[in-house]
Structure 1
Amino acid sequence: MRQTLEEEIASGAFLVHAVEQMQGNMMTRPQASSQEQINNDQVIVTRWDFPPGAETGWHRHAHDYVIVPIHDGVMLLETSDGHREVTLQAGVCYNRLEGTEHNVINNSETPFSFVEVELK
């Protein structure tokens, strides 16, 4: 789910986007698609679908979260500490903490999907 301008400014994502624009590094890859499936007092559940080469764009997570891969795939994670490749295995979950900032890119030749469960 995309943040509003006010949310981007409050989270600091606006600054990241401004720096990227100044450096000429705005997204040139296809956009991954997301479908929010649940949003209640406890969780936000979103399915993400990535065609080959697609990316989320830089973002900061406002909650702790769990990723549940639906398909195998290879992600390239761009972070402020550098880039790293991560292999997804269908059904093998992992978690990250609130404040994680990155851009997620499908570095596979095939599409992949995962479900993100944010814990409020």
Structure 2
Amino acid sequence: MAFRCDIPAVPTVQRDDQDVRITRWDFLPGAVTGWHEHGWPYFVIMLAAGTLRIDDGSKVTDVPLEHGQTYQRPAGIKHDVMNGSDHPIAFVEIEIKRPEAISAG
């Protein structure tokens, strides 16, 4: 259900308020986030090209992503994320705590 966590990924919270949480994640090769569930919808922006190895509890999938590439996911996602690359990678994760506040401008 989760990767063996010999090397934890390093989260640096850059903003955390009533509307959003912005976290930079830095991963050495093989580093993992640990099993977690997202309580809010979120966006990810890759700061370095690399492969995210995703364990969703039933299968492990390698997802290669380019520098600057983005993706989004809904609330409720459960997974563990590993750096499947042979070099350090990083991304910024933006969790939207109040989607209505963002869409209202």
Query: Identity over the aligned pairs, expressed in percent?
Result: 35
Moved more, 47-56 or 73-82: 73-82
Instruction: Give the number of the structure with larger relative contact order, counting CA–CA contacts within 8 Å between residues 6 or more apart.
Output: 2
Map 1:57-72; keep pairs closer than 5 Å.
57-72=34-49
CA deviations over 1:51-91 (Å, ceiling 9, x no partner): 00000010000100000000000111001231100012111
Question: 1:16 maps to which residue?
Answer: none
1 or 2, which has the higher strand percentage? Answer: 2
When the two structures are superposed, what TM-score results if normalisation uses the length of structure 1?
0.76
User: C-alpha distance in 2, partners of 1:26/1:80?
Assistant: 10
User: C-alpha distance in 2, partners of 1:105/1:119?
Assistant: 23
Is residue 2:81 matched to residue 1:104? yes
Question: Aligned to 1:83, which of 60, 76, 88?
Answer: 60
Is residue 2:71 matched to residue 1:94? yes
When the two structures are superposed, what TM-score results if normalisation uses the length of structure 2?
0.87
Is residue 2:31 matched to residue 1:54? yes
Question: 1:117 maps to which residue?
Answer: 94
Question: 2:101 maps to which residue?
Answer: none
User: C-alpha distance in 2, partners of 1:26/1:112?
Assistant: 17
Shift of 1:103: 0.4
Question: Aligned to 1:45, which of 1, 10, 22?
Answer: 22
Aligned-CA RMSD value: 1.4
* Contact 2:52 2:63 survives alignment (8 Å): yes
Shift of 1:43: 0.6
1 or 2, which has the higher helix percentage? Answer: 1
Shift of 1:26: 7.2
Unaligned segments of structure 1, at least 5 residues = 1-19
Count of residue pairs the alignment pairs up: 97
* Contact 2:56 2:78 survives alignment (8 Å): yes
Secondary structure of the structure 1 residue equivalent to 2:82:
strand
